[in-house]
Chain A
Amino acid sequence: MNLSYHGLMERLNGYEETDTMNDLIDSKHFRFKSQDSDYRLYDPVLKTYKETDGTTLCTVDLDHVRGGSGSGLDMLSEDDRATLKLTFLPDCTLTKAEVHYSEHGQSPVMEILDVAVGAVGELTPGPVAAAISVGGAVFNWMAGKLVEASDDGGRTTFVAVVANVVNAVVAEIRQ
């Protein structure tokens, strides 16, 4: 199973890529703006469990960039972090979703979401319904875990950014 990093970035085509100079040059990531705030999407890691059930775990890290000064870990320390762990069957059906959220200054929280994907409203079950069901579940769970609003609303927006990345991953993953 594979996930094209380029395809993922293309699918996030509402986002404007921003200058990545001096920004975490050791890691592969896409830095972009959503509304008036900055985010990082790191290169997703795929691991296929060939010996057992053949499922593939896709791990995606995202930052809401609040640092911007200093260097190395100092710069990261102000950021909010979200991690998605999405498990796919060999036919690319999403079978399990886990989301982690770590707001700067707060204890990390996580949840295993219900991905028993049925119809969403009047939508026929299928890949689009799955993306909406899981993207919506991520949005609603994370929305309830927000603690302190950032002045520009970038923390509020992070919820939508993570949900959009769920959509992009589900759309781009290939056998």
Chain B
Amino acid sequence: MTVVFDSSLFRSKMSGRFHDCSDGWRDHGSSKSIGYRDPDDHDLHYWTWFPDHTDSRNEDGLFLYMKIDHDRHDPKPDDHAALMLFFDGDARLVAASAVIQMKNEDPVAPSDLTTGSPGEIPALLQQGLESASSFRSNYSESNDGRQNLPSVIRWNAELAAQSVTRQ
């Protein structure tokens, strides 16, 4: 029995949440990603890259990592986010963390690992990102899609957690 991530289930769940989600994982040579748009503002465009993972001791547990990009359209550099999800041997989400990085700006990250009951963690992670001082001072009023990044990260966490199972 191992804890595994079901990438096609995740993609279909993302499709239910976001607008214009790509049909499958698009191949970029060495890696794959899915593209999608904000459900309320279709101009806002994001990408989630195919997750990496490591197994914990005795196959009990899983570290799942995904990169999320906010596509600001060339020549503006993309914003990047790293989302790390920690699962126990029963495929329960037990902790999470994330960082948002924008070119030449202070990183946006909660100061501590986000823990709680599995159902609460994604929303708590969003709150942690939104209350980070670098986010509050620079992006909470932004309307170019940066303001929505904590929410995009939350939904990625929530839907990825629903796509991790014990097999």
Contact = CB atoms under 8 A, between A and B. Distances in A.
A161 B89 CA distance: 21
B109 A13 contact: no
A35 B69 CA distance: 11
Contacts of A146: 99, 101, 107
A148 B101 CA distance: 8
A13 B5 CA distance: 13
A10 B18 CA distance: 35
B97 A143 contact: yes
Contact of A128 (B60, B65, B69, B105): B60
A160 B67 CA distance: 9
B143 interface: no
Interface string A122-148: 110001100111011101100110101
Contact of A164 (B52, B77, B103): B52
A3 interface: no
A16 interface: yes
Residue with the highest number of chain A CB atoms closer than 10 Å, among B67, B79, B105? B67
Contacts of A156: 67, 80-82, 99, 101
A interface: dominant SS: helix
Contacts of B58: 127, 171
Interface residues of A, number: 45
A171 B61 CA distance: 10
A136 B86 contact: yes
Interface stretch (B8-16, B37-45, B113-121, B152-160): B113-121
A143 B94 contact: no
Contacts of A144: 99, 107, 109, 111
Nearest to B112: A140
A58 to B, nearest CB: 15
B51 interface: yes
A146 to B, nearest CB: 4
Interface of B: 28, 30-31, 49-58, 60-61, 63, 65-67, 69, 77-82, 84, 86, 88-89, 92, 94-95, 97, 99, 101-105, 107, 109-113, 115-118, 121
Q: Which of A121, A127, A143, A164 has the most CB atoms of chain B within a 10 A radius of its CB?
A: A121
A13 B30 CA distance: 15
A112 interface: no
Given A36-B67, A121-B115, 12 more contacts: A11-B54, A14-B65, A123-B94, A128-B89, A131-B56, A131-B61, A144-B111, A149-B104, A155-B101, A157-B82, A159-B99, A161-B65
B102 A149 contact: yes
A7 B137 CA distance: 45
A157 B67 contact: yes
Interface in A1-50: 11-16, 18, 33-36
B52 A171 contact: no
Contacts of A13: 53-55
B2 to A, nearest CB: 11
